[in-house]
């Protein structure tokens, strides 16, 4: 322990003196971590059911032609954009990868909760394009319900969004 204290004192003295004169220590700046650019913007989104195919089963899926409207926040972060719904329990949220004006997102399969009328896996996708000025977008969303039998029910939606 005494040797460690002596070594520390010697290092401090040598850092503070040069040829018998003292000089102030100049701190070395430590760069702050880069802050990613992100922003959140409000969008009015209309979602219309355009297809509903596959075997019927005991959960509600919207009929073709049904329209849902709500305000989403789009959170931009580097090469991705998150679609944050007004109600995360009843509306789909996505984190999409951007490639120019195009975006794609996939929500991996999640098992139905215990107590449901049947067991299934549900997954979803979203793919679309922003306008050149990024004030509007169109997209297609698909829900996939895979039953234990292997049968799949697919519900397709058309999205249309405009910046508020």
For the chain, the structural domain boundaries read 38-54+68-163
Tell me the pLDDT tens digit for each residue of 86-96. Answer: 888 888 899 99
The backbone torsions φ and ψ at residue 4, rounded to the nearest 5 degrees and listed phi first, read: -65, -40
**What confidence score (pLDDT) does residue 130 get?**
98
Mean pLDDT of 158-163: 97
Q: What pLDDT, in 10s, does the model give residues 3-32?
A: 433 333 333 334 444 444 444 444 444 444
CA-closest candidate to residue 92, choices 37, 51, 142: 142
Per-residue pLDDT of 30-62, as tens digits, reads 444 333 456 677 999 999 999 999 999 999 999
Gyration radius of the chain's alpha carbons:
28
pLDDT of residue 133: 95
Judged by average pLDDT, the poorest of 30-44, 70-84, 117-131 is 30-44
Tally of CB atoms within 10 A around 40:
11
| Residue with the larger pLDDT of the pair 151 and 40 | 151
The answer on pLDDT for 140 being more than 80 is yes
**136 HSE (CA, 13 A, CB side):** 6
Enter the DSSP assignment of 27: P
Task: Choose between 164 and 2: higher pLDDT.
Answer: 164
Asked if residues 142 and 162 have their Cβ atoms less than 8 Å apart, the reply is no
Q: What is the DSSP letter of 59?
A: S
pLDDT value at residue 51: 98
Classified by CATH at the fold level, domain 38-54+68-163 comes out as Porin (2.40.160)
* Paired residues of 162 in beta bridges: 44, 136
Higher-confidence residue: 40 or 121?
121
Which is it for the CA torsion 106, 109, 114, 117, positive or negative?
positive
Question: The tokens 């509600």 sit on which residue?
Answer: 60
Whole-model pTM: value is 0.75
- CA–CA separation, 93 and 73 (whole Å): 10
Q: Are 155 and 142 in contact (CB under 8 A)?
A: yes
């Amino acid at each position: 322990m005494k040797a460690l204290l002596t070594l520390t004192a010697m290092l401090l003295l040598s850092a503070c003196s040069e040829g018998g004169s003292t000089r102030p220590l100049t701190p070395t700046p430590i760069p702050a971590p880069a802050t990613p650019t992100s922003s959140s913007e409000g969008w009015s989104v209309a979602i219309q059911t355009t297809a509903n195919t596959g075997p019927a089963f005991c959960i509600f899926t919207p009929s073709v032609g049904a329209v849902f409207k709500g305000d989403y926040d789009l959170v931009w972060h580097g090469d991705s954009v998150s679609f944050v719904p007004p109600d995360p329990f009843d509306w789909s949220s996505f984190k999409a990868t951007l490639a120019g004006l195009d975006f794609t997102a996939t929500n991996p399969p999640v098992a139905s909760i215990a107590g449901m009328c049947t067991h299934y896996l549900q997954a979803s996708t979203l793919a679309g394009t922003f306008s050149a000025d990024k004030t509007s977008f169109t997209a297609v969303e698909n829900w996939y319900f895979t039953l234990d039998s292997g049968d799949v029910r697919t519900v397709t939606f058309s999205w249309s969004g405009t910046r508020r």
